[in-house]
């Protein structure tokens, strides 16, 4: 069969860097002003280093973040009963899994960097890829960053100031969320190294928090040594687990969006395809282990919550882990858990800022966005950084500075991302934003998966190293469609805003791409993209 071998202008290699071990090719932003349309291919060749286990920890690390510590309230209160809540966690996990399996097939059939942007361009035309990029820049990246920042704020305020402050005014949380956002953005502006080093550091927190909760829950369940006997007996022994289950499909949709948020990130695996030693064997293997592992971990964590906490607490608190910690281990426990979860969120925010910066940077290079966003802060690459003379200062500087010195990072791109994120933090809260984000993201997960089916019909002979069962994308599409249609009833305003943003994308596409014609493109960087289009575009 035929296979694709061109590369995309969107080189996402660098975006992987924060979570994988360092390699020489990862950090490069490309030298400004020189075409780098084949750099993707080069770095792919250079960095085929990820094994199955690397891929697994990468994906699991990408998925686990804020959600399992914050979604339970929204899931439980909308599902109506603990049993229904567990079903929501299973269904949303399975949905993520079917989506990931579908993306694994796409990743094998179209082995280019860039994920959905490339699949959409290839299957439906460049306008679809553009719309995806546009929505990623204005909705998906800043929306997800805002959710994580808000959870970061809530946990930190609870840990440091106390619960009263959280309940007194949402603005205290939002203020802390904004401070976190600014800190993360500055950190990533200073140098790529600083961003990636902090990613390594914060990686640890999420596993610590999740493990602590699960182990404590198991101990409580096994020993029956309930710290809250009443809670244990009401939820675990006597209560009917399905009593109060919601009958409203809109409520179920909102609960599912909150669950899906916790599983979000499964699509990121497709950005690592190029780095894997044996992608056609390992990518599906990674996904088919990662998703079940995360699903089981989340179910266990939720059972732990149920064993320890009274339902009212789970239903109303965005910071279940704090309540959990204080019941199991007292004030010290709640402080430790709160710190661990805010560390986990900080790490998630960091990774998101890093990738958003690179994505907006490529979009700027591509001419999708004003040129300034495709430039780095300090771009005089001829002038290597002069390291300070004194030993200690020298060592410190080389620990955090990039080869090119400081601020050789896409600072304008990251500033833009921070600006959008700020708006979402100010206007949104957790449930509103997860629904908003869910509508936008599932629209853009849905489209490539429909594309998968289209591609099977249109190009049956195309080489597909991994083929998922046909039922997988079909299930994914049906459930996504249900979710999207329900959202319109459950949260019409959020859905409307998403559609408005997408609608704005159409004239923008014409303005930034359509009107310049094939030869009049804005940047050299676009070369790979247009080459790709000329070869494989509408034939």
Residues of this chain that interact with ligand ARG (CB under 6 A) are 63, 65-67, 144, 148, 261-262, 264-265, 268, 348, 352
> How many residues are present in the chain?
539
Instruction: Looking at 169-248, list the stretches that DSSP marks H as alpha helix, in order from N- to C-terminal side.
Output: 170-190, 192-223, 229-231
The number of helices, as runs of H, and strands, as runs of E, in the chain is 22, 0
Phi/psi of residue 152, each to 5°? Answer: -55, -50
Helix (H, G, I), strand (E, B), or coil: what is residue 276?
strand
Residues of the chain by 3-state class (helix, strand, coil), percent to 5: 75, 0, 25
Answer left, alpha or beta for residue 375, where phi above 0 means left and psi between -120 and 50 means alpha: beta
Are the C-beta atoms of residues 258 and 85 closer than 8 Å to each other? Answer: no
Both tokens of residue 67? 């959600």
Q: Which is nearer to ligand ARG, 296 or 454 (CB)?
A: 296
Q: Which is nearer to ligand ARG, 202 or 509 (CB)?
A: 202
Q: How far apart are CA 17 and CA 14, in angstroms?
A: 5
- CA distances 472 to 232, 293, 452, Å, are 38, 19, 11
Q: Which is nearer to ligand ARG, 148 or 297 (CB)?
A: 148
When CB distances to ligand ARG are compared, the closest residue is 65
Least distance from ligand ARG to the Cβ atom of residue 355, Å: 7
Least distance from ligand ARG to the Cβ atom of residue 303, Å: 18
Q: Which is nearer to ligand ARG, 264 or 275 (CB)?
A: 264
Q: Which is nearer to ligand ARG, 444 or 530 (CB)?
A: 444
Least distance from ligand ARG to the Cβ atom of residue 265, Å: 4
Least distance from ligand ARG to the Cβ atom of residue 159, Å: 18
Least distance from ligand ARG to the Cβ atom of residue 357, Å: 13
528 CB-near residues (< 8 Å, 6+ apart): 6, 7, 8, 9, 37, 38, 40
Q: Which is nearer to ligand ARG, 41 or 356 (CB)?
A: 356
Least distance from ligand ARG to the Cβ atom of residue 68, Å: 6
Are the C-beta atoms of residues 360 and 413 closer than 8 Å to each other? Answer: yes
Q: Which is nearer to ligand ARG, 183 or 400 (CB)?
A: 183
Least distance from ligand ARG to the Cβ atom of residue 130, Å: 19
């Amino acid at each position: 069969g035929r296979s694709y071998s061109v590369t995309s202008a969107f080189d996402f290699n660098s975006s992987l860097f924060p979570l994988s071990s360092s390699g020489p090719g990862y950090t490069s932003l490309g030298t400004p002003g020189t075409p780098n349309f084949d750099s993707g291919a080069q770095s792919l060749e250079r960095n085929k280093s990820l094994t199955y286990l690397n891929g697994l920890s990468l994906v699991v690390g990408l998925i686990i973040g804020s959600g399992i510590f914050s979604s339970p309230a929204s899931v439980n209160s909308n599902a109506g009963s603990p049993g229904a809540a567990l079903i929501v966690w299973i269904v949303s996990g399975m949905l993520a899994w079917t989506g990931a399996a579908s993306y694994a097939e796409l990743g094998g059939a179209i082995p280019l960097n860039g994920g959905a942007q490339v699949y959409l361009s290839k299957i439906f035309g460049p306008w679809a890829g553009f719309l995806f990029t546009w929505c990623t820049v204005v909705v998906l990246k800043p929306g997800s960053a805002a959710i994580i920042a808000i959870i970061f704020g809530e946990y930190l305020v609870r840990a440091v100031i106390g619960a009263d402050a959280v309940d007194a005014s949402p603005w205290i949380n939002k203020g802390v969320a904004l401070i976190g956002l600014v800190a993360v953005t500055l950190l990533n502006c200073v140098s790529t190294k600083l961003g990636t080093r902090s990613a390594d550091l914060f990686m640890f927190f999420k596993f610590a928090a999740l493990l602590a909760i699960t182990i404590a829950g198991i101990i409580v369940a096994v020993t029956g040594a309930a710290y809250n006997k009443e809670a244990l007996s009401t939820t675990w022994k006597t209560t009917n687990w399905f009593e109060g289950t919601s009958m409203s499909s809109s409520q179920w949709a909102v609960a599912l969006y909150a669950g899906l948020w916790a599983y979000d990130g499964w699509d990121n695996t497709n950005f690592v395809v190029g780095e894997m030693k044996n992608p056609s064997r390992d990518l599906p293997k990674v996904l088919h282990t990662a998703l079940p592992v995360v699903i089981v971990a989340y179910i266990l964590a939720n059972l732990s919550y149920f064993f320890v906490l009274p339902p009212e607490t789970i239903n109303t608190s965005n910071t279940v882990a704090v309540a959990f910690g204080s019941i199991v281990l007292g004030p010290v426990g709640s402080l430790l858990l709160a710190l661990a979860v805010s560390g986990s969120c900080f790490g998630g925010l960091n990774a998101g800022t890093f990738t958003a910066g690179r994505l907006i940077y490529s979009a700027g290079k591509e001419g999708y966005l004003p040129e300034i966003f495709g430039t780095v802060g300090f771009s005089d690459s001829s002038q290597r950084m002069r390291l300070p003379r004194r030993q200690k200062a020298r060592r410190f500087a080389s620990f955090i500075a990039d080869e090119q010195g400081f601020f050789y990072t896409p600072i304008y791109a990251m500033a833009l991302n921070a600006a959008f994120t700020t708006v979402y933090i100010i206007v949104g809260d957790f449930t509103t934003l997860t629904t908003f984000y869910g509508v936008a993201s599932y629209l853009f997960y849905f489209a490539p998966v429909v594309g998968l089916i289209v591609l099977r019909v249109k190009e049956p002979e195309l080489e597909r190293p991994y083929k998922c069962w046909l039922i997988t994308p079909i299930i994914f599409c049906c459930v996504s469609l249900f979710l999207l249609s329900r959202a319109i009833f459950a949260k019409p305003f959020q859905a409307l805003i998403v559609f408005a943003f997408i609608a704005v994308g159409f004239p923008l596409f014409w303005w930034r791409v359509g009107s310049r014609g094939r030869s009049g493109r804005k940047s050299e960087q676009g070369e790979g993209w247009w080459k790709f289009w000329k070869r494989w575009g509408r034939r």
